[in-house]
A and B are shown apart, each in its own frame.
Chain A
């Protein structure tokens, strides 16, 4: 038996292919939206993996340090180091800010780390790790900074000594690693006018302006003893909960395991964005279905007389329905191939990471086929209603 759908497609292949390409671009956008969501989730996981931590110790009652502000004294880590099961612990600060190089600046997450401790970038693609206590930086390659360049963070210049890759915040901003002390200063550094003004205000307060007290208060105002979190690595043989529970109990701090932190990042931090993307996906799916339905309906309506003739000469309804459905699925297949290729080409051009998973593509493929089948129903109904008598005049 002749494939009526195949012959029709071959006969009008130009119209069919161009329509499929148009649909394909829409499918490409849909696949890319899914890739944007996967990229966000992957960024969140990368953030956790790259920290090298097993536990995150943060301010009690907060979801810090990524989802909420968290502030801890920078000597807390000493006590944590003495807790059972703790292999290493190090302070860390996180600060999202613009980092300048020459006339340009880049939105980054500046991470204050203790060189050699948890939180340090796990691998470099060029250069070396930070070895000095001040004014050295390791940057993610997405910042565009080069080895040896001077970058400006607040009022200080830092030399780029190392480059790393896929070190991004949950928002996709590339990371800049600097020594912890510099980061603590950068977090709370005030301009000179503000410092002079603060000193005058403190000196004018009779409660502080007493011998021995004023100097101590002024010193405390110029020093930042806080960090955002303590990253903890645990000893082999201990479970995260075995180590976390004594810290919660005796240090009165909040402790999160990797699984809990992943849950916070994925379920809370990017939940709204995920819903946003989900809405886009639903709308795009509906628009795609509407377009396929409209195209197939229009193509079918253009063949009403031929369908009437086919019915009159004895073609089965299922043959006619099959022809329309095959064309709809064919259109979807062309669209999917074009969409997949398009998404693969343009995904790397996006400023944030777009992760196109084969599983998503497979799901997308079946969704396209299903949508095309559903979209062809309207045209099939119209075709089956065609009266074979229409082929006979009068």
Chain B
């Protein structure tokens, strides 16, 4: 599979999000600034209610920020208003999602769970399945290509979910606590895979996590507290 043509990664500048109006208004994001370069995996950590989910939903084009500017890849997607009409297509083509639970489609086998995205983007079934199998091979789950999600272990399901996030070659992947249900060994394996994929496909990856096991592996970390982000250097420990 070809790497993406991502040259800028994710750039978030002064993003705000206010829920409600007047006296009942709640400022979930006050000033968020982040940059993640292509091929880089950064951690986003913070306590409950700090604005992590709001930031992820804003970046994922699921909710609209109140102000600021966001750039994905080489494209400004938000500048005090959406710059793209078809947010559904934006999510499909430019953003990969990895969730806390894999959320694979239970009635599709492993290959079709991954191949569904390129099919939705208009690729042929043959090409979509070819791409899916390449990624499954890279993630070492090709031998389960015909299995149903219920037949996979937790680690295998998460690898399939990562393959699904990568299959449309998005410049950005948003991972929402992807290691939460996994033990230490499997959690580190998932982070290793994300780093490999980021490097191989030049994808910018943001990992939202509370997981103490994986936080030391990030080279850069963004802390979010009371709706504001602060950058710090991570330990960048090896995964094994």
Please give, as numbers and ranges, the residues of chain B lying within 8 Å of A389 by CB-CB distance: 57, 60, 62-63
A-B contact count (CB 8 A): 81
Q: Give Cα A314 to B91, complex, Å.
A: 6
Contact present for B62 and A2 (CB under 8 Å): no
A106 to chain B, nearest CB (A): 57
A1-58, CB < 8 A from B: 1-2, 4, 7-8, 10-12
Contact present for B148 and A392 (CB under 8 Å): no
Please give, as numbers and ranges, the residues of chain A lying within 8 Å of B92 by CB-CB distance: 313-314
Q: At the interface, is chain A mostly helix, strand, loop or mixed?
A: helix
Closest to A11 in B: B107
Contact present for A392 and B60 (CB under 8 Å): yes
Contact present for B53 and A1 (CB under 8 Å): no
Flag whether B117 is at the interface (Cβ < 8 A). Answer: yes
Closest to B86 in A: A314
> Which of A179-187, A282-290, A303-311 lies at the interface with chain B?
A303-311
Cross-interface CB contact of A1 among B62, B103, B108, B125, cutoff 8 Å: B125
Please give, as numbers and ranges, the residues of chain A lying within 8 Å of B164 by CB-CB distance: 313
Q: Give Cα A309 to B88, complex, Å.
A: 12
B215-234, CB < 8 A from A: none
Cross-interface CB contact of B53 among A10, A12, A316, A394, cutoff 8 Å: A394
Contact present for A1 and B105 (CB under 8 Å): no
Contact present for B117 and A7 (CB under 8 Å): no
Contact present for B121 and A312 (CB under 8 Å): no
Contact present for B60 and A312 (CB under 8 Å): yes
Contact present for B93 and A314 (CB under 8 Å): yes
Q: Give Cα A29 to B93, complex, Å.
A: 50
Cross-interface CB contact of B120 among A8, A306, A315, cutoff 8 Å: A315
Cross-interface CB contact of A313 among B52, B100, B120, B125, cutoff 8 Å: B120
Closest to B52 in A: A394
Count residues of chain A with CB under 8 A from any CB of chain B: 26
Flag whether B177 is at the interface (Cβ < 8 A). Answer: yes
Map CB proximity to B onto A286-307 as digits: 1 under 8 Å, 0 otherwise: 0000000000000000000110
Q: Give Cα A305 to B164, complex, Å.
A: 16
Please give, as numbers and ranges, the residues of chain A lying within 8 Å of B100 by CB-CB distance: 393
Contact present for B105 and A306 (CB under 8 Å): yes
Cross-interface CB contact of B99 among A8, A310, A392, cutoff 8 Å: A392
Please give, as numbers and ranges, the residues of chain A lying within 8 Å of B52 by CB-CB distance: 394
Cross-interface CB contact of B89 among A314, A387, A392, cutoff 8 Å: A314
Q: A2-B119, A313-B117 are in contact. Are A391 and B88 (CB under 8 A)?
A: no
Flag whether A100 is at the interface (Cβ < 8 A). Answer: no
Q: A1-B125, A393-B177, A394-B53 are in contact. Are A310 and B105 (CB under 8 A)?
A: yes
Please give, as numbers and ranges, the residues of chain A lying within 8 Å of B53 by CB-CB distance: 392-394
Q: Give Cα A12 to B108, complex, Å.
A: 11
Cross-interface CB contact of A388 among B62, B105, B107, B125, cutoff 8 Å: B62
Closest to B174 in A: A392
Q: At the interface, is chain B mostly helix, strand, loop or mixed?
A: helix
B56-100, CB < 8 A from A: 56-57, 60, 62-63, 88-89, 91-93, 97, 99-100
Count residues of chain B with CB under 8 A from any CB of chain A: 33
Flag whether B135 is at the interface (Cβ < 8 A). Answer: no
Map CB proximity to B onto A373-394 as digits: 1 under 8 Å, 0 otherwise: 0000000000000011101111
Flag whether B116 is at the interface (Cβ < 8 A). Answer: yes
Contact present for A391 and B103 (CB under 8 Å): yes
B92 to chain A, nearest CB (A): 2
B157-210, CB < 8 A from A: 164, 176-177
B38 to chain A, nearest CB (A): 21
Q: A11-B148, A314-B117 are in contact. Are A392 and B56 (CB under 8 A)?
A: yes
Q: Give Cα A313 to B180, complex, Å.
A: 21
Contact present for A306 and B106 (CB under 8 Å): yes
Contact present for B105 and A309 (CB under 8 Å): yes
Flag whether B40 is at the interface (Cβ < 8 A). Answer: no
Q: Give Cα A18 to B105, complex, Å.
A: 23
Contact present for A392 and B119 (CB under 8 Å): no
Q: Give Cα A310 to B88, complex, Å.
A: 10
B146 to chain A, nearest CB (A): 13
Contact present for A393 and B91 (CB under 8 Å): no
Contact present for A312 and B56 (CB under 8 Å): no
B193 to chain A, nearest CB (A): 19
Map CB proximity to B onto A70-111 as digits: 1 under 8 Å, 0 otherwise: 000000000000000000000000000000000000000000
Flag whether B156 is at the interface (Cβ < 8 A). Answer: no
Q: Give Cα A313 to B112, complex, Å.
A: 14
A257 to chain B, nearest CB (A): 63
Q: Give Cα A392 to B60, complex, Å.
A: 9
Cross-interface CB contact of A312 among B54, B62, B125, cutoff 8 Å: B62
Q: A314-B91, A393-B177 are in contact. Are A2 and B106 (CB under 8 A)?
A: no
Q: Give Cα A305 to B102, complex, Å.
A: 11
A274 to chain B, nearest CB (A): 45
A5 to chain B, nearest CB (A): 9
Q: Give Cα A394 to B164, complex, Å.
A: 22
A388 to chain B, nearest CB (A): 5
Please give, as numbers and ranges, the residues of chain B lying within 8 Å of A12 by CB-CB distance: 107
Contact present for A309 and B107 (CB under 8 Å): no
Q: A12-B107, A389-B63 are in contact. Are A312 and B97 (CB under 8 A)?
A: yes
Contact present for A314 and B120 (CB under 8 Å): yes
29 A–B contacts from the bound complex (CB under 8 Å): A1-B125, A2-B108, A2-B125, A4-B105, A4-B107, A7-B112, A309-B103, A310-B105, A312-B62, A312-B91, A313-B97, A313-B116, A313-B117, A314-B88, A314-B89, A314-B91, A314-B93, A314-B117, A314-B120, A316-B88, A389-B62, A391-B99, A392-B53, A392-B57, A393-B176, A393-B177, A394-B52, A394-B53, A394-B56
Q: Which residues of A contact B (CB under 8 A)?
A: 1-2, 4, 7-8, 10-12, 305-306, 309-316, 319, 387-389, 391-394
Ranked 3 nearest A-B pairs via Cβ: A314-B92, A394-B53, A11-B107
